[in-house]
Chains A and B, each alone.
Chain A
Amino acid sequence: MSSSTAKCPYSGTQAAGTAAAVPVPQPLRSPGGVSEAPVAHWLDVEGLAADPYAAYARLRAESPVAWVPKLNKFLVTSYGGCHGIEQDQETFSANVSGSTMNRAIGAQPMLRKDDPEHAIDRAPINPVLRPKSIKEAWAPVFARNAETYLDALEDKGPGHADLNTDYAAPLASKNLIDLLGLLDADVDQVRRWSHDFIAGMGNVLDDPGIWARCDASTADADALLAELIPFYRKNPDASLVSALANSGLPVEDVAANTKLAISGGLNEPQHMVTNMVWALSRHPAQREAVLADPALWAAAFDETVRWQSPIGMYPRQATRDTVLEGVAIPAGAGIGVVVASANRDQSWFGPGAEDFDIHRPKRPHLAFGAGVHLCAGHWAAKSAIGQIAVPKAYERFGSLRVDEQRAESWGGWVFRGLSSLPVTWN
């Protein structure tokens, strides 16, 4: 066995006072106490995009497994319920019917498959995204890209800079282009693809304009991949498309999973850059603490992704009649797993669950999902954003903060983040 000299690049200091082992939440499935699902008629679905957290708190208090007619699905908002779903892919399938994701990217990616089919797609991806590959092959690239876009931010100046537009968005796109190996793709092009794919995945009302843009971007991405797959078969490197191209997977699956990575690998790291700076700006004592002790960056990242989870909800479908948290769910029912709500569940995180606190005792959260679909890119995000993009921004501008003179803009609940974050510095 090897000794413990090697060190994980992304673990920070351990929180003090966490001597107790982590208890495992158990979903309630007592056959004696099964009830019909409460119906959340009151829920203003359209209003969630402005700020969903008050509605989540009410759902958790009144009906953590609720039928929401406007969404035609159950919303599960408790930690125990969401965790229980992720531990049982035989009952709660990711292969949901009528998937807009499959329609959007023209094929079925691993996120819409269950094991064993899912594991076949995922196997070649994992080695690219484990901590060692991220640290050795990719952290230097992420650092170089951060410097490039910090220069752009600096050029804008403290009176005009927007952390999203000038830094987070182009940086996330460039990091993704490099990690995937999308040679010759440019930052704006990949941003457009990602945006169009995500719009397609959310196009539950079948807007033909959204499908047209999505189909055009799918065609563009497929054309690039048609060139890249044979190229990487002859010239393998550390990139994700290279790993997929040399995995023996059919071209259709290589393309589907690359387009999945383009969809999920851009907005979320982008939102984490702005969310971290926003959260630290509103909590100056914690900002001072992390600037004084860089080992706290890991906790700052982890607490931000819990408190303002960029992916708020994702779908599952019941494969059979079941009972979740005492509520009957029929076979075939659609389920929304609201991890952004689970991540503020007081019964799991304690009475301060709604607060941002980088010093809180560490507990598992669901911001990256859990179980076999745990975000493949979670180590990449911890490195590229938590250890590099945000710390480097504060290294460059020690007094970096939200500019209260200009308006910021939040939006979304399925995917949630800042579309604009004016920042300033001295």
Chain B
Amino acid sequence: MPTITFTQPDGSEQVLQVADGTTLMRAAVSNGVDGIVGECGGQAMCATCHVYVRPEYARSLPEITEDEDEMLDCTTAARTDASRLGCQVAVGPTLGAIVVDVPADQV
């Protein structure tokens, strides 16, 4: 099963094993990962599942769609080149493991 590692601002880590096709947002919300709100349930209508993807995984990510790009401009913590919406990134055959940093603020 693919693994997702969420790293908190204090350095603590939570490693989740999830089914293929699970988004980072859904994994976090279902498993009580602090700092991921997922307010809109995965429609790219809010920006409360913002994560920073570690650079070594950047090449395995799907392209940022126009909708995601627009919503990333509305993140509470500063947007960087590592910023993604957790609801738009799913783990699976092309992304078997990923490590992301959870921002200090989502709202």
Q: Which residues of A contact B (CB under 8 A)?
A: 1-4, 6-8, 10-11, 14, 18-24, 26, 86-87, 119, 122, 126-127, 129-132, 362-364, 370-374, 376, 378-379
Contact = CB atoms under 8 A, between A and B. Distances in A.
23 contacts: A8-B47, A11-B76, A14-B76, A18-B104, A20-B104, A21-B105, A22-B34, A22-B35, A22-B105, A24-B32, A24-B34, A87-B30, A122-B43, A130-B67, A130-B70, A131-B71, A131-B74, A364-B39, A364-B106, A371-B39, A374-B45, A378-B46, A379-B45
B105 A18 contact: yes
B73 A131 contact: yes
A19 B35 CA distance: 11
Interface string B78-90: 1111010000000
Given A1-B64, A11-B74, A22-B37, 12 more contacts: A1-B81, A2-B64, A8-B73, A21-B9, A21-B35, A22-B35, A22-B105, A131-B70, A131-B73, A132-B70, A371-B39, A374-B41
B18 interface: no
A131 to B, nearest CB: 6
A22 B29 CA distance: 12
Interface residues of B, number: 41
Contact of B78 (A4, A10, A87, A363): A4
Contacts, number: 101
Contacts of B105: 14, 18, 21-22, 362
A19 B41 contact: no
Interface string B13-50: 00000000000000011101111110111111111100
A87 B106 contact: no
Nearest to A86: B41
B35 to A, nearest CB: 3
Contacts of A127: 67
Contact of A364 (B48, B102, B104): B48
Contacts of B104: 18-21
Closest 10 CB pairs of A and B: A21-B35, A8-B74, A372-B41, A371-B41, A4-B79, A374-B40, A6-B73, A21-B34, A23-B34, A362-B107
